[in-house]
Amino acid sequence: MPLWLPPLLALLPAHLQGFAATLGYQGFCGELLASLGRQAYGGEAEAFAYEVLLLAGLVLQGGLGYTLLFLLLALPEAVRDRLGKGLGNLTGLTALYLVLIYAATRTWGLPLPTPYGWAWGGPAPWDGLGILLALWQGLVFWAFWKGWGR
């Protein structure tokens, strides 16, 4: 596998989520997290914490992808160094984290912070874009697990 492929794969989910959100699709962060808050106590503010977790994961993964591509172009020897391997491992683990959080919120729901304490939110419906992004994140995890800096 070429070294440029895993970082390039890591860039797509953040861009696809942002583009799809402008078209009205939900993906990782759309209606899912707002619906969890409404099911708990009628408010959407409680679910904001999980929306931030998923969005922060996507942004972190996109930033790491750009950083790794820059390292590959500007300092190719740094990819095989501890820095490159560490950033690659962090990118792969971020992809795994996003898959697990997405699956948990769609299958069982997660606990939500509310003004009255923690409440268990119900599962949200699956959507096509979210499933595509979760499968893509699995591909990103596999690409970094097998092909980065080895």
pLDDT, tens digit (0-9, with 9 covering 90-100), for 43-93 = 554 456 667 778 889 999 999 999 999 999 998 888 888 888 899 999 999
Q: Is the pTM of the predicted complex or chain greater than 0.85?
A: no
pLDDT at 33: 43
Distance between CA atoms of 88 and 67, rounded to whole angstroms?
10
Nearest Cα residue to 47 out of 26, 62, 32: 32
Q: Which residues pair with 112 in a beta bridge?
A: 119
- The size of the chain, in residues, is 150
Note the pLDDT of residue 141. Answer: 95
Q: Over the stretch 92-129, which tens digit does the pLDDT of each residue have?
A: 999 999 999 888 888 887 887 777 778 777 777 788 88
